[in-house]
Structure 1
Amino acid sequence: MIQRVNPGPRMSEAVIHNGTAWLAGQVGEGATVAEQTADCLAQVDRILAEIGSSKENILQTIIWLADMADFAEMNAVWDKWVPAGHTPARATGEAKLAAPKYRVEIIVTAAVPAK
């Protein structure tokens, strides 16, 4: 069974199948990469909680930065957020994002524990 979480006309916030959740890319508000990263991660926390999972269950994260020069600033927020001993497989790259105001986008795949 495929479960679509908060589906919209273009995409769902998350899709769950066989105990794995794929979250849509999260972009954040804020003037700095640190603020946008913190907002993205807060959205990830909210969605994971809604589906009965948590950041300890993240399997993979893909992070897109509009400019790799922001890598250290993003990592400073990430490193405080990700639980020690539960770091996921992760890739970070540079990409032109959906709108010029976005400087970071975070895409998460997570396990959803059985109820």
Structure 2
Amino acid sequence: MMSIKRIDVGSRMSGAVIHGNTVYLAGQVGEGESVTDQCKSSLAEVDRLLAASGSSKSKILQTIIYLADIADFAEMNAVWEGWIDPANPPARATSEAKLAAPKYKVEFIITAALD
């Protein structure tokens, strides 16, 4: 039976869960006023959680991105394209969705392999 390891365990959720050779991150939202600031903040936390899990952005398998306003698609992509490992882009989907609080403009949901 495969073990399950949880990272940054809280009362509501874990920041990351490892099962087998796969890492599942909780949805990441960031701080700041702009989509750019929130993307950079969110993706820095993705980097931190992946490192704590023994993985990295080059091992991301899939990313689901929610934007509060799809009109911010190009602004989000500008940050995303500067952040991802260009040799190993993941499968990805982006949708418009109402996020957990009005201040949030973008949320990233990441699934990655272990290094």
TM range (shorter): over 0.9
Identity of aligned residues (%): 64
Unaligned runs of 5+ in 1: none
Letter in 2 for 1:49: A
Unaligned runs of 5+ in 2: none
Q: Where does 1:52-91 land on structure 2 (aligned, <5 Å)?
A: 52-91=54-93
Which of structure 1's runs of 4+ aligned residues deviate more than 6 A?
none
Structure 1 residue 8 displacement after superposition: 0.7
Equivalence for 1:16: 18
Structure 1 residue 41 displacement after superposition: 0.4
Q: Where does 1:94-113 land on structure 2 (aligned, <5 Å)?
A: 94-113=96-115
The CA distance in 1 between the partners of 2:55 and 2:17, in whole Å, is 13
Root mean square deviation of aligned Cα: 0.5
The CA distance in 2 between the partners of 1:62 and 1:107, in whole Å, is 5
Equivalence for 1:5: 7
Tell me the TM-score normalised to structure 1 length: 0.97
Secondary structure of residue in 1 paired with 2:66: strand
The CA distance in 2 between the partners of 1:95 and 1:50, in whole Å, is 29
**Count of matched residue positions in the alignment of Structure 1 and Structure 2:** 113
